[in-house]
Amino acid sequence: MKKKELLTFGILAVLLAALGYPFVSYGYGFSVLILFGTLVLVFLFRLAWVYRKRFAWARWMLGILCVCTGVGLAAAVWTGCLIAQAGFGDLKTECSYVVVLGAGVNGTTPSLSLRERLDAAYDYLEAHPEAVCVVSGGQGGGEDITEAECMYRDLTARGISPDRVWKEEQATNTRENLALSLALIQERTGEAPDHIGLVSSEYHLYRAEQFARELGITASGIPATTSWISLRVNYFLREIAAVWFYTLFGRGN
């Protein structure tokens, strides 16, 4: 490969990093990572293709790249189908208890993701007046109140009875959201439910439902639609990687 091509690749990599950096703070970090990874993959394919006739290692590299890329794409499509299917939710099933998974709070104001989850929770509670809602989420950096408190204020301000909104204010991730919410329900009612409604962003429902199964309960997804298409794509791609990590290592938030 010519030095000119190597220099071109280096310049493209630097430009991509420079142009992509501002988008990281807006939630597009994973998309930038995907673009950079694609650039590296194209470079490796080009390198192997140029030297395939001269060196055995290049032929091996080309074959390995083709197999790994094919398997990776197939796995990504399969995982994406599972995530997309779960994202439609199960709004027909009646749920006595609904758990709303927390998301970021800007001071005391819901972030875009949290606002969308609150809208979905409100619609469900309005359509099912007997359901009780557990809003779950602790306080993180940049948050003046807990996520649960933010959700409680929003839903009650819209007219949902405070008696129907229970706050769980200790959770720091999805596993804790579910475990602590179930503990709160059991504490208040004397028994743990075997079925709950689960409000989260549509791309997150598949993995959240897997966490629920680990705790021995069935969760019916109540999807919150991500309004920005660009963010939806970014988070959807990131969720594919998160599901792989969870499947391989049994870890994830």
Q: How many CB atoms lie within 10 A of CB 200?
A: 30
Tell me the CA distances in angstroms from 24 to 29, 33, 53, 231, one per residue in order.
Answer: 4, 9, 41, 12
pLDDT band at 117 (very low <50, low <70, confident <90, very high): very high
pLDDT confidence of residue 25? 47
Q: What is the pLDDT of residue 160?
A: 96
CA angle 101, 171, 195 (to 5 degrees): 50
Same domain, 103 and 82: no
Give the structural domain span for 197: 97-228
User: What does the pLDDT average to over 165-177?
Assistant: 95
Question: Whole-model pTM above 0.75?
Answer: yes
Average pLDDT along the chain:
88
Q: Are residues 37 and 104 in the same domain?
A: no
As for how many domains the chain has, the answer is 2
Does 50 have pLDDT greater than 90? no
Per-residue confidence (pLDDT) for residue 19, from 0 to 100: 53
Q: Where does the chain have alpha helices with state H?
A: 3-23, 29-51, 56-87, 112-127, 147-157, 174-189, 205-214, 229-249
Q: Are residues 219 and 107 in the same domain?
A: yes
Backbone angles phi, psi at 131, to 5 degrees: -75, 145
Residues 8, 63: one domain?
Answer: yes
CB 214 within 8 Å of CB 251:
no
Residue 14: predicted pLDDT? 56
Q: Let me know whether 219 and 103 are in one domain.
A: yes
